[in-house]
Structure 1
Amino acid sequence: MTFSPASFDTRAGALADVAVLLPAYNGQADVERTLASFAEDAPVYALIVDDGSTPPIVAPAVNGMHVEMLRMPKNGGIERALQAGIETLAARGFRYAARIDAGDLAVPQRLAKQRARMETSPALAALGAWTQVVNRAGEPLFMLTPPADPRELRRTRFLRSPLVHPSVMLRIDAVRAVGGYRVAYPAAEDLDLFLRLMERYDCANLPEPGLYYELNEGGISATKRRKQIVSTLRLQMRYFDALNWRDWAGLAKNLLHFVTPYRALQKVKRVLYASR
């Protein structure tokens, strides 16, 4: 049965045009735990994009949630999985895609709060939230608090991550208007998208926690770290503003990341963010 907002509308109310977008490669238990974390006052629709998992991900039964699967023919990477998800949601008439990754947990009412803000701010194409970083045991490590103001995000886009990708709600038509998720910048597909969105729209963050982000040494930031840094450097050079000192600082920071071991960098982050 093909699902659409029209068939969901009478039950979902204010969240009828919102879809949770979760790409997954293996990790059935993490997928189930992540979807079960959503606590909203209306039913939630979720699309899992199974990127060639072996065995295939099975759509879990989650109370208050309608879960569907989109299966990629083979493992092609998160960039292709996300773009396939965006196109599927657009074809079904959804307006907003709320990103989350397997293993992460949503703060209660995250979807309602983000949608309400985007409805009152039509210039917004992406809206993230502050994020509590935790370890695999769920113990807090540090808090990510990117700027809330769109102008400040543009100024500091390379000095610190402008948005925490799995915390973001995206306006689907805006994402498609700028070309969607691309494979041109491997492992930095989120920054690539955010930078293109910032050229035509606003991006912002809710100044309150919206996500528990699991620091996973098997995740992209760890396993594809060098590729991610190279892609980020390429993006920095493409959008570099020599008159913005923050771009110079961001470039120096990324070069330092290139030579700093991953675990050492996480320890530094814990100290820096804990002091704020």
Structure 2
Amino acid sequence: MGQPQITVFMAAYNQADFIKQSIDSILTQSFSDFELIVVNDGSTDDTAIIVESFTDNRIRLVNNDGNKGLIYTRNRLLTLARGEYIAILDGDDIAQPDRLKLQYNFLSANPEIALCGGHATIIDENGDKTGDQLMVPVDNVDLFMLFGNPFVNSTTMFKTSVFNELNGYQNYSISEDFDLFIRMAEKYKVTNLNETFVNYRVHSHNTSALNLGTRLANERKIISHLQERIGLPNHERWLSPHIELFNWTLLRTHLNDYLLLLHELKSANNISKRYDQETLNRFLFNKWMDVLISDQINELTLKWYLKNEIFKSAYFNFKKFRKAFKNSMKQLLS
């Protein structure tokens, strides 16, 4: 078999209940010039047997010598991937039929972009849709990284050359994908497409559900890096409010801290020029709006909207003004 255009990568640990569906969703893609690499990370169930039952020569099963963990498993791509692009699909998720074609065509037509992802539909253990969607931003994706991971990992496709250049995944267990995307965004353009690429399965054995403490610890490191990257001085002072915004664990008593953090980010960028200033200013204003109307805060009085640290009249349209005024009146009359 010649060199494929896409390497589809599937890390698998005890995925016997789901991996057949995942593999089938790749083999039935409308785009056929791919290889599927499944790395079995020491599974103790029938994962390897199920993968071996497929006879399609585009599938390559690689077995780790025991359970090595997700970062080690994913970094096997550094030596295994032969495609121009790498598409990630977790061993319990299901790809939409045109996923590879849409992403390949987009990246081929936009060579300046190193990474793209898309939306996902949530399914349960039985594969039934829950009615929920993972909707990702499609504009200014690099800005959204300041306050969270704007990618669904299982929808991402990126350039193999960039992955190798960055030496793959680093030691940020549970958050290693976000760390990789940040490093890609520091050197290249990244984006999401307004398309749904996968059915994302939520179940009790999801890695993210089992390792919350580890994820939070690594998020602190990532947020510190994000603050340093934009040039935020005395970043330790702003770590707690940034983490609360990142995880959306907001406290009404910290409202002024959130406002000051947004102001500091704006001021720091004015010096570092990491982002386009006007785009960042508008983004921070919208973030401030989101904070004020959140269930945790629900503070819609005009005095908070009109804080001049980040306020600019051009950002505040009539619809937003009417909503703020209406809620201010409700609070006065309650």
TM-score under structure 2 length normalisation: 0.66
- Residue in 2 aligned with 1:57? 48
Superposed, 1:158-237 pairs within 5 Å as 158-183=146-171, 185-237=172-224
Following superposition, the deviation at residue 29 of structure 1 comes to: 3.2
Distance 2:88 2:187 in 1: 21
Contact 1:22 1:102 in 2 (8 A): yes
Mapped to 1, the partners of 2:74 and 2:245 lie a distance apart of: 28
Relative to structure 1, the CA distance from residue 42 to residue 186 in structure 2 (aligned partners, 3 Å threshold; closer, same or farther) is: closer
2:137 counterpart letter in structure 1: P
In 2, distance between residues paired with 1:141 and 1:249?
32
Alpha-carbon shift at residue 28 of structure 1 (Å):
2.1
Quote the Cα distance in structure 2 between the aligned partners of 1:65 and 1:208.
Answer: 29
* Aligned residue in 2 for 1:113: 102
Where does structure 1 lack aligned partners over 5 or more consecutive residues? Answer: 1-6, 10-15, 259-271
**More strand per residue:** 1
Say whether residues 1:253 and 2:245 are aligned partners.
Answer: yes
- For residues 121-140 of structure 1, the aligned pairs below 5 Å read 121-137=110-126, 138-140=128-130
State the identity as a percent.
20
Structure number with the bigger relative contact order (C-alpha 8 A, sep ≥ 6) is 1
The 5-angstrom pairing of residues 9-88 of structure 1 reads 16-38=4-26, 39-43=28-32, 44-55=34-45, 57-58=48-49, 59-62=51-54, 66-88=58-80
Is the CA contact (8 Å cut-off) linking 1:158 and 1:251 kept in structure 2? no
Counterpart CA distance in 1 for 2:123 and 2:192 is: 20
**5+ long unaligned stretches in structure 2:** 234-238, 251-294, 296-334
Query: How many residue pairs were aligned?
Result: 240
The aligned amino acid for 2:150 is: P
The residue matched to 2:48 in structure 1 has which SS?
A: coil
The one-letter code sitting in structure 2 at the alignment partner of 1:82 is R
**Using the alignment, how far apart are the partners of 1:147 and 1:86 within structure 2?**
29
Q: Give 1 or 2 for the bigger CA radius of gyration.
A: 2
Per-residue deviation, residues 207-245 of structure 1 (Å, max 9, x unmatched): 0111110112211110011101111121011111449xx
Asked whether the 8 Å contact 2:31–2:100 carries over to 1, the reply is: no
Deviation at 1:159, TM superposition (A): 2.3
User: Does the 8 Å contact 1:80/1:182 carry over to 2?
Assistant: no
Q: Structure 2: which amino acid aligns with 1:27?
A: Q
CA distance in structure 2 between the partners assigned to 1:60 and 1:249 by the alignment: 49
Which aligned pairs between 1:254-269 and structure 2 lie closer than 5 A?
254=246
Classify the secondary structure of the residue corresponding to 2:111. Answer: coil
CA distance in 1, matches of 2:224, 2:74: 25
Partner of 1:157: 145
Name the counterpart of 1:4.
none
2:120 and 2:242 mapped to 1: Cα distance?
21
Do the aligned partners of 1:181 and 1:189 also contact (CA within 8 Å) in 2?
A: yes
Q: Secondary structure at the match of 2:100?
A: helix
Q: Name the one with the larger helix percent.
A: 2
Deviation at 1:42, TM superposition (A): 4.2
